[in-house]
Amino acid sequence: MFSNTRDALREKMARCDINRYAKRRLPILSWLTTYKLPWLPQDALAGFTVGLTAIPQGIAYGVVAGLSPEYGLYASFMASFVYIVFGSCKSITIGPTAIMATMVQPLVVAYGPDIAVLLTFLKGCMIALLGLFHLGFLLSFISLPVITGFTAAASINIAASQFKSLLGIPGRSEDLVDALDAIFSNLEKIRYQDTLLGVVTIAVLVLFKHLPGRRTGNWIQKIAWVVTLARNAIVVVVGTALAYIFFVNEQTPFVLTGTLGEGLPPFGPPPFSIIANNRTYDFIETTTAMGTTLFFVPVVSAIEHMAIAKAFAMGKSLDATQEMLALGLCNMFGSFVRSMPVTGSFTRTAVNHSSGVKTTFGGLFTGCLVLLASSLLTSTFRFIPKATLAAVIICAMYYMLDFKTYALLWRARKVDFFLMLITFLFCVFLKLEWGILIGIVLNLVILLYFSTRFTVQTEVEQTGDKALIRVTPEETIAFPAAEDFRARIMKLSENNSSNVVLDCKNLKRIDVTVAKNLKLLSNDLQLRGRAINCVNCRDNVEVVLKAIAPDTQSGPSGDQNLYH
């Protein structure tokens, strides 16, 4: 009887564990069973509003990546659908971003669009594996100054790559230097029509962004709020209508986007071999051609996504493993519909949050709207002026420049500011991948340098005619600082004939290298007729000292027998 009861209890607990795990890895199971009908209008409003932003941005970022504009749309709708099932943060929207586009663009120019689709699949696999094996902590080694410098450089390079389109000059630019050189070398090719349209579009976007609108205000404020959120879609629609009117009247004053792919995307596995430059590259050759981009695109994508997820978690605990798994799956599934690499978008996430979204179900409406545009409006998209898209991208990049963080780094810690600046300069004038790599390496060098430096308090304790030097480290001493610590104590003892007490109250841990140096220090002091004793040791510290340097042990607080 008792055996049957225990078996039933175990079976019930096993079912509970499976249910909890399923809800954790499929968050849709958590909110779908408790979904309330009043949430539907709010999710629908948020989804459609995000869609109005996602469509022009998807087209624009497809162009930035050197792809046909529909690739950005394919990426948006598939990511929206997948995140509904696997996403754990209701406000997050995943899709193409400017940084992803600019990182993949050199590969697309050299090898064609297939390499971007394969990169999307491989990136998804890598991020999903990082999440499953709980390796997201590795991203913590990339500091805020490095990320800030990289983002600023990417924003400037992306904006600069659109200068030629804004001015009506044919061709493309890779970065700031290339763009400025191309402009000053082709001043005679500047078209005043495109320039005027681009400048006016930028002015309108800035004006619309600063309209005093509120979602919960009066009807005028609500209209202003909608206009602010949909400003990218509005200027693209107006620019397209203007170009179409000129086209009907047999005039083409603007350089247009051109023909897009027709209808829905083809469904099929990503290309594991590609045809480019009049030859076929197999899988190994293709991944080799990706170079450092194959490593840095997943890393940057994960950093960008996790930063946005933390910002919009709104005080709730964030399941980093689930978010990385969701991001990986969005890319993996996206590669089956010819998607470019995707990650969390700060702009669209902010729009989603401010629209009052209740669950990730809002992504269904975003995906449907983008899918509708992909299938029915491709003939219309060909009339979008390049100057209009360039203006949208340039404005978006300007608002990615975080001037408050730059000032904060300068005021708080000059070392971090210059680390950000060095990363920024290398990213702008070299390559984004190499710039962030140099920033990471330099950051680790700085980290290692400070790990060899530490702060100690020293005081002389007098009892009668006897004296002790009490040395109290203010932080844990790691092995890079072991030799420097030993040298400091030896120098201190040269100027004082007293014994040394090492107060370990602030040492949370100690490694074998430090303990070994303490033993050598004890031997050196004994040759001078002096001694060193460790007091106030934590249990884990005491275990290491007893094993490596037992002759340095003494009472819990520095007993009087140390005065000898």
- State pLDDT tens for residues 107-164: 998 998 999 999 999 999 999 988 888 776 666 677 788 888 888 888 888 788 888 8
| Amino acid code (one letter) for 306 | M
Q: Residue 560's pLDDT band (boundaries 50, 70, 90)?
A: very low
At residue 559, the pLDDT reads 47
State the maximum Cα–Cα separation within the chain, in Å, rounded to a whole number: 106
> Which are the contacts of 191, defined by CB distance < 8 A and separation ≥ 6?
167, 168, 169, 255
Mean pLDDT score of the chain? 82
- State pLDDT tens for residues 264-305: 677 889 999 998 888 899 999 999 999 888 988 998 888 888
At residue 314, the pLDDT reads 63
Name the residue with higher pLDDT: 261 or 413.
Answer: 413
Ramachandran quadrant class, 280 (left: phi over 0; alpha: psi -120 to 50; beta: rest): beta
Q: At what angle do helices 144-161 and 98-111 cross, to 10 degrees?
A: 60
φ, ψ (nearest 5 deg) of residue 563:
-90, 85
* Whole-number percent of the chain with pLDDT over 70: 89
**How many angstroms separate the CA atoms of 41 and 263, rounded?**
29
> Which are the contacts of 92, defined by CB distance < 8 A and separation ≥ 6?
83, 305, 308, 309, 312, 323, 344, 349, 352, 360
**How many angstroms separate the CA atoms of 561 and 462, rounded?**
13
On the question of pLDDT at 58 being above 90, the answer is no
> Which are the contacts of 284, defined by CB distance < 8 A and separation ≥ 6?
none
Q: What is the enclosing helix (H) or strand (E) of 467?
A: strand 466-473
- State pLDDT tens for residues 305-340: 887 777 677 656 677 788 889 999 999 999 998 899
Range 20-47 average pLDDT: 82
At residue 189, the pLDDT reads 86
- State pLDDT tens for residues 82-103: 998 888 888 888 999 888 888 8
Q: How many residues does the chain have?
A: 564
At residue 201, the pLDDT reads 92
* Whole-number percent of the chain with pLDDT over 90: 14
At residue 561, the pLDDT reads 43
**How many angstroms separate the CA atoms of 47 and 355, rounded?**
9
Is 169:390 a contact under the CB 8 Å cutoff? no
On the question of pLDDT at 422 being above 90, the answer is yes
At residue 56, the pLDDT reads 81
Is 70:339 a contact under the CB 8 Å cutoff? no
**How many angstroms separate the CA atoms of 503 and 556, rounded?**
10
Q: In 10 A of CB 95, how many CB atoms?
A: 35
**How many angstroms separate the CA atoms of 352 and 76, rounded?**
14
**How many angstroms separate the CA atoms of 60 and 413, rounded?**
37
- State pLDDT tens for residues 439-468: 888 988 888 887 777 778 888 877 666 778
At residue 474, the pLDDT reads 80
Chain position carrying tokens 């290309």: 271
Is 200:388 a contact under the CB 8 Å cutoff? no
Return the closest-CA partner of residue 120 out of 330, 321, 304.
330
**How many angstroms separate the CA atoms of 315 and 308, rounded?**
13
φ, ψ (nearest 5 deg) of residue 95:
180, -170
At residue 71, the pLDDT reads 85
Among 306-320, 389-403, 415-429, name the one with the lowest average pLDDT. 306-320
Q: How far is CA 462 from CA 409, 471, 522, in A?
A: 45, 14, 22
At residue 161, the pLDDT reads 82
On the question of pLDDT at 564 being above 70, the answer is no
φ, ψ (nearest 5 deg) of residue 130:
-60, -40
- State pLDDT tens for residues 210-243: 888 776 677 888 888 888 877 887 888 898 899 9
On the question of pLDDT at 421 being above 90, the answer is yes
Q: Residue 6's pLDDT band (boundaries 50, 70, 90)?
A: low
- State pLDDT tens for residues 495-518: 777 788 888 888 888 888 888 888
**Count of helix runs (H) and strand runs (E) in the chain:** 25, 8
Q: In 10 A of CB 158, how many CB atoms?
A: 26
Q: Residue 553's pLDDT band (boundaries 50, 70, 90)?
A: low
- State pLDDT tens for residues 355-388: 778 888 888 888 888 888 877 776 777 788 888 8
Name the residue with higher pLDDT: 121 or 1.
Answer: 121
Ramachandran quadrant class, 559 (left: phi over 0; alpha: psi -120 to 50; beta: rest): beta
At residue 558, the pLDDT reads 47
On the question of pLDDT at 527 being above 50, the answer is yes
The token pair at 51 is 């869609």
Q: What is the three-class DSSP state of 472?
A: strand
Chain position carrying tokens 């904006």: 159
At residue 342, the pLDDT reads 92
Q: In 10 A of CB 241, how many CB atoms?
A: 12
At residue 258, the pLDDT reads 67
**How many angstroms separate the CA atoms of 445 and 536, rounded?**
33
On the question of pLDDT at 12 being above 60, the answer is no
What ranges in 280-413 are assigned the alpha helix state H? 283-290, 293-311, 320-334, 346-354, 362-376, 378-381, 386-398, 403-412
Is 474:459 a contact under the CB 8 Å cutoff? no
At residue 563, the pLDDT reads 40
How far is C-alpha 2 from the geometric centre of its chain's CA atoms? 54
DSSP 516-537: HHHHHHHHHHHHTT--EEEES-
Q: What is the three-class DSSP state of 318?
A: coil
At residue 51, the pLDDT reads 82
Is 235:392 a contact under the CB 8 Å cutoff? yes
**How many angstroms separate the CA atoms of 100 and 119, rounded?**
11
Is 535:558 a contact under the CB 8 Å cutoff? yes
On the question of pLDDT at 562 being above 50, the answer is no
On the question of pLDDT at 397 being above 70, the answer is yes
At residue 13, the pLDDT reads 56
Q: Residue 8's pLDDT band (boundaries 50, 70, 90)?
A: low
> Which are the contacts of 485, defined by CB distance < 8 A and separation ≥ 6?
454, 473, 477, 514, 517
Among 118-127, 173-182, 421-430, name the one with the lowest average pLDDT. 173-182
What ranges in 112-230 are assigned the alpha helix state H? 113-132, 144-161, 163-167, 176-185, 192-209, 219-229
At residue 202, the pLDDT reads 92
On the question of pLDDT at 262 being above 80, the answer is no
**How many angstroms separate the CA atoms of 163 and 397, rounded?**
12
